[in-house]
Amino acid sequence: MAGGGSAIRGSRVGAGPMGEAERGDTAPRQRVVFFCANGHETATVFAVEAAVPEAWDCPRCGLPTSTDVNNPPPPTKIEPYKTHLAYVKERRSATEAAEILEEALEKLRARRARGEVIF
């Protein structure tokens, strides 16, 4: 017969979780509340000796948060995907692009004049 069993096998009724006497004392803690631009509050607990971060991500909407209720950080700007051509246009002017194109075309014309196969 297969055992269906209990998930708490080996414990007795009334036995509570391990107490501090068996694990040691917990570190002193502080509760820090963060606020996002959508008005959400996020309470997080840190050890007293731990450094509290300046910003935290809101678990409800994902926006950045801060501890200043009157001045939460603005939403981060999400830039759209840029193509390779967009990055090239940022680095080169239109005259530089025309010069590079003309140079490449001259090379192709020279190869064709010599009878090379171009793919």
Which residues contribute to the annotated binding site for Zn(2+)? 36, 40, 58, 61
Which DSSP letter does residue 35 get?
A: E
Whole-number Å distance between alpha carbons of 38 and 61 = 8
Single-letter residue type at 54: E
Closest to 72 measured CA to CA, from 54, 92, 53: 54
Q: Is-contact 112 119, C-beta < 8 A?
A: no
Going by the annotation, the residues of the binding site are 36, 40, 58, 61
